[in-house]
Amino acid sequence: MHLSRGRLGWLTLEVGATALIVALLWLYTDTNESYAVAPLGDVLDAFRATWLFEHVGSDVVPSLVRMTLGYGAAIVIGVVVGFGLGSSPVLAAIAAPVVSFLRSIPAAALLPPAIVLFGIGGGTKVAVIAFVCCWPIMLNTSDGVRELDSTMLATARVYGIRGIDRLRMVVLPAVAPRIFAGMRTSLSIAILLLVTSEMIASTNGIGYFVFQAQQQFAVDDMWAGVLLLGLLGFGLNLLFGVIERRVLRWNVRGDGSN
């Protein structure tokens, strides 16, 4: 596939800007004498020694499992409840005060009661991630269902498309862009909650490693953990974008993007 001249120009600009930022950061960290700022070269050495691949099984894998379970549960809960609220104005009116109250609770405030209820095991992180991340998905799904085109639904009824076929062929494709918008928002929240919960209530995981490195003044290891989290978030967003474009390949704007 050939890149257009405009796209190639933007790609060159992105690569050049990234290289310039890395070079400036490397220079700044090498000349900064603060104990809290580690030279970038030392951080990369610590990253290689720590995460390639000594702590992958002990910290990275548990973190990814917790986030995947919590995020997956949030998707299921958000889509199912969102469809229910969007399909029934009466149910939406009844649930509105409860939903508004629960989604307004700060995520950090949920950690102490979650620890009391579930302990410091993996269930605490999964429960908190699922609870907080389900709201963007739920609200986007319910809004998408409420905003379904009445003409499209009437056409499906005329052609005898009902039940599961109507859900699969008409409703889901129409609501899918809104669902993915909520999922993208929730993905960033899931990473944030994972790190926060592991710092407060865990005995392993990336967040736990970063917190312990900070407590022990192991600055190189601390920044190496932060670098890993940045790369993890970047990689997950790239993967999400690939999946979104593949699933919503029919929903393409004039510029060729979703």
pLDDT in tens, 72-94: 999 999 999 999 998 888 999 99
What is the per-residue pLDDT across 14-45, written as a single tens digit (0 to 9) for each? Answer: 788 888 888 888 888 888 878 788 888 899 99
pLDDT level of residue 3 (50, 70, 90 thresholds): low
Share of the chain above pLDDT 90, in %: 46
Cβ-in-10-Å burial (0-12, 13-18, 19+) of 256 comes to exposed
- Nearest residue to 62 via CA among 203, 251, 217, 188: 203
User: Which whole number is the average pLDDT over 114-138?
Assistant: 88
Q: What is the DSSP string of 87-108?
A: H-HHHHHHHHHHHHHHHTS-HH
Q: What is the pLDDT confidence band of residue 4, given thresholds at 50, 70 and 90?
A: low
Our measurement of the distance from residue 90's CA atom to the centroid of its chain's CA atoms, rounded to an integer in Å, reads 31
Contacts of 59 (CB under 8 A, 6+ apart): 204, 205, 206, 208, 209
The mean per-residue pLDDT over the stretch 102-127 comes to 85
Distance from the Cα of residue 237 to its chain's centroid? 7
| Domain 39-247, second-level architecture | Orthogonal Bundle (1.10)
Least confident of 80-84, 111-115, 212-216, 221-225: 111-115
Q: Is the pLDDT of residue 9 over 80?
A: no
What residue segments make up the domains of the chain, in order of their start?
A: 39-247
**How many Å is the Cα radius of gyration of the chain?**
22
Alpha carbon 175 to its chain centroid, in Å, reads 20
User: 137 near 179, Cβ under 8 Å?
Assistant: yes
- Sequence-distant (6+) residues with CB within 8 A of 176 are 247, 248, 251
Alpha-carbon distance of 117 to 1, in angstroms, equals 54
Name the burial class of residue 207, with classes exposed (0-12), middle (13-18) and buried (19+) by CB atoms within 10 angstroms of its CB.
buried
Average pLDDT of span 208-214: 93
CB 209 within 8 A of CB 70: no
